[in-house]
Homo-oligomer: A and B are copies of this chain.
Amino acid sequence: MLLYLLGMFGIAAFAVTGVISSGKKDMDLFSVVFLGMVTSLGGGTIRDTVLGVEDVYWVSDTSYLWVAFLSSLAAFFAVRLMEDRQSVFHYADSFGLALFTVVATEKVLNLGFPSTIAITMGVITGIAGGIIRDVLSHRPPLVLGREFYATPAFLGALLLVLLEKNIPSHEFNSIYAVALVFILRVFAIHKGLYYPSWLLYKKR
């Protein structure tokens, strides 16, 4: 149940980032909503088709589809009132990344897959929606950016797996993992938290 709610929040958060990022001046309501929906449903769709689950999540439960639709619609109008769209974009993206990574990791664990697969699919699910959004709206993917992005997702997925192995189905396991990803991302954005130089790629 908690997992279900967290998933819904993640969809809403990513829908907002899709609307802010893909929106170009004078784009119409329906195109913007379409892009919000693709951003918010894309990551989980890849996860479910790769794992070959019976039905992709939003096909078997259309509530997800409606949440994606209504959040994108709301974001289309709300965006006019936002003072600082870039901040909203970054916070919503960090929140969505945290939620999607953790929910996906938990879901794949529950399906009985080994931890390696759960962590990999968690990171992919968290990052893929944003990559689709960034490719469609012609901006360089956040995962290629200067602040760290893939690392927090990986650490959150790892923490969840460790918690589930040691204190299985403890109520707040997923909350701890979500908090870890979100806090690391916010630190990365605001404090420039980063890697030591020898773990960075040097271009010649």
Contact = CB atoms under 8 A, between A and B. Distances in A.
A190 interface: no
B24 A148 contact: no
Interface residues of A, number: 61
A185 to B, nearest CB: 13
**Copies, count:** 3
Contacts of A66: 116
30 contacts: A24-B144, A24-B201, A24-B203, A27-B144, A28-B199, A28-B200, A28-B201, A29-B199, A30-B150, A30-B151, A31-B143, A31-B149, A31-B151, A34-B123, A34-B127, A45-B50, A49-B50, A52-B52, A52-B56, A59-B113, A62-B114, A62-B116, A62-B117, A65-B116, A85-B204, A131-B136, A135-B135, A135-B136, A136-B141, A137-B144
Rank and list the top 7 A-B pairs by shortest CB-CB distance, nearest first.
Answer: A25-B203, A23-B201, A29-B199, A30-B151, A28-B195, A34-B150, A27-B201
